[in-house]
Amino acid sequence: MKMSGNATSTSHAAASAADRAYAEIRGLILAGDASPGTPLREEALADIVGVSRTPIRDALRRLEVELYAVRTPGGRLVVADWDSDDVAEIFALRAMLEGHAAARAARRVSPAQLAELRQCNAAIEAAVALPQPDIARFLAENRRFHDIILSASASARLSTMLAGLVEQPIVRRTATRYDRADLARSAHEHGQLIQAFAAHDEDWARAVMTAHIRRALHAFQDATPSK
């Protein structure tokens, strides 16, 4: 069966609208602008994104499958929250995947990427050293640091798998409760990773990254009030 040009264009436009809706709604969740428990109403989201309700509906189905959204007992769709078991599993998966990414990156990292990692960590250290640490800058540079490592790992499969983990809201919730010593410790661990990459030592890089993620889990647990 052959589709006409108009039908193909319509199909591509619908997919593009759904992809944009997905990206924008997911972005609201990851940025913390849609906090856990926030209702995800099609009409309101259509107004925010600027598309019809059909691509919003498609985007919400995808977000539900990926566990960014869940159904309440009454059937309403809301932004997901995570209990302690969920969070522990997310961190365990991150430790395995990011540890593997670090090991791959140690073998493949370029001089330019090493320079970028050093520049990024210098920005983190500067943000931490301010009289009032700049948490927003810390978060942005921390995200960039890990993205550089993922890029250096040169694995599309890893990129896809890590993108499916709900990570940024957890990092944000943790970092906002870090004290200066916690923030400085994170930067120090980044420095150790840079040393491992400069030495092209994959076992060292994997061990440091795994410990880095595990420490972040305990920091998150310490920073999260018991329910």
Would you place residue 88 in the very low, low, confident or very high pLDDT band (cuts 50, 70, 90)?
confident
pLDDT at residue 13 in the model:
59
End-to-end Cα separation, the chain, in angstroms: 56
> What is the distance between the alpha carbons of residues 74 and 177, in angstroms, rounded to a whole number?
33
Q: Give me the CATH number covering residue 189.
A: 1.20.120.530
Q: Are 118 and 190 part of one and the same domain?
A: yes
| Domain match, 51 and 75 both | yes
Kindly report, residue by residue over 125-155, the tens digit of the pLDDT: 999 999 999 988 998 899 899 999 999 999 9
Q: What is the DSSP string of the chain?
A: ----HHHHHHHHHHHHHHHHHHHHHHHHHHTTSS-TT-B--HHHHHHHHTS-HHHHHHHHHHHHHTTSEEE-TTS-EEE----HHHHHHHHHHHHHHHHHHHHHHHHH--HHHHHHHHHHHHHHHHHHHSSS--HHHHHHHHHHHHHHHHHHHT-HHHHHHHHTS--HHHHHHHHTT--HHHHHHHHHHHHHHHHHHHTT-HHHHHHHHHHHHHHHHHHHHHHSPP-
Of 45, 79, 113, the domain-final residue = 79
53 and 151 in a single domain? The answer is: no
One domain, residues 42 and 138: no
**pLDDT reported for residue 177:** 66
- pLDDT at residue 165, rounded to an integer: 74
Q: Which domain holds residue 131?
A: 84-223
Residue 225 pLDDT > 70: no
Could you tell me if 154 and 196 lie in one domain? yes
pLDDT at 226: 57
Across the range 194-210, mean pLDDT stands at 98
Is 90 exceeded by the pLDDT of residue 224? no
Q: Pick the residue with more confidence: 110 or 67? A: 110
> Does residue 71 sit in the same domain as residue 101?
no
Dmax (CA) of the chain: 66
Domain's final residue, options 53, 79, 105: 79
Answer yes or no: do 99 and 211 share one domain: yes
pLDDT digits (tens, 9 = 90+) for 155-164: 999 998 887 7
Percent of the chain with pLDDT strictly greater than 70: 85
For 2-48, the pLDDT digits (tens) are: 545 554 445 555 568 999 999 899 888 876 778 889 999 999 999 99
- 184 and 104 in a common domain: yes
Same domain flag for 92 and 199: yes
User: Is 61 found in the same domain as 167?
Assistant: no
Report the range of poorest mean pLDDT among 26-30, 67-71, 111-115, 176-180. 176-180
Q: Is 227 exposed, middle or buried (0-12, 13-18, 19+ CB in 10 A)?
A: exposed
Q: Considering 59, 79, 99, which residue would you say is the last residue of a domain?
A: 79
**Measured on CA atoms in the order 139, 35, 76, 88, is the torsion positive or negative?**
positive
d(CA 26, CA 14): 18
pTM: 0.73
Specify the pLDDT at position 158. Answer: 94
Q: Are residues 63 and 148 in the same domain?
A: no
Q: What mean pLDDT is reported for the chain?
A: 87
pLDDT of residue 3: 47
| pLDDT greater than 50 at residue 113 | yes
CATH number at 28 reads 1.10.10.10
The answer on 154 and 113 residing in a single domain is yes
- Kindly tell me if the per-residue pLDDT of 119 is higher than 80: yes
Overall number of domains in the chain: 2
